[in-house]
């Protein structure tokens, strides 16, 4: 079973600047950029992060081996 996790990586200081501009805590910005929330505010934070140079990454982890390796 494959599980995909998305996150947005910001340039240095970008996440803190985002939190200050939106008047939210740095923890809220962190959670929004790691897709841990799906509120309208979290969606706006993600959109602003991408506009400000953030990069969207998707990590895929494989939790079950599908075949034998010889």
| Percent of the chain residues past pLDDT 70, beyond the cut | 83
Residues 8, 49 contacting (CB under 8 angstroms): yes
- The distance in angstroms from the start CA to the end CA of the chain is 21
**pLDDT greater than 70 at residue 69:** no
CA–CA dist 10, 16 (Å, integer): 10
Task: Convert the pLDDT of each residue in 26-56 to its tens digit.
Answer: 999 999 999 998 999 999 999 999 999 999 9
Q: Write the CB contacts of 30 (distance below 8 Å, at least 6 apart in sequence).
A: 15
70 or 35: whose pLDDT is higher? Answer: 35
Q: What's the pTM?
A: 0.79
pLDDT at 61: 76
pLDDT of residue 12: 92
């Amino acid at each position: 079973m494959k599980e995909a996790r998305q996150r947005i990586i910001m340039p240095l200081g970008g996440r803190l600047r985002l939190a200050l501009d939106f008047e939210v805590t740095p923890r809220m910005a962190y959670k929004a950029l790691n897709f841990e929330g799906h509120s309208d505010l979290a969606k706006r934070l993600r959109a602003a992060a991408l506009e400000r140079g953030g990069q969207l990454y998707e990590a895929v982890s494989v939790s079950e081996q599908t075949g034998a390796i010889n």
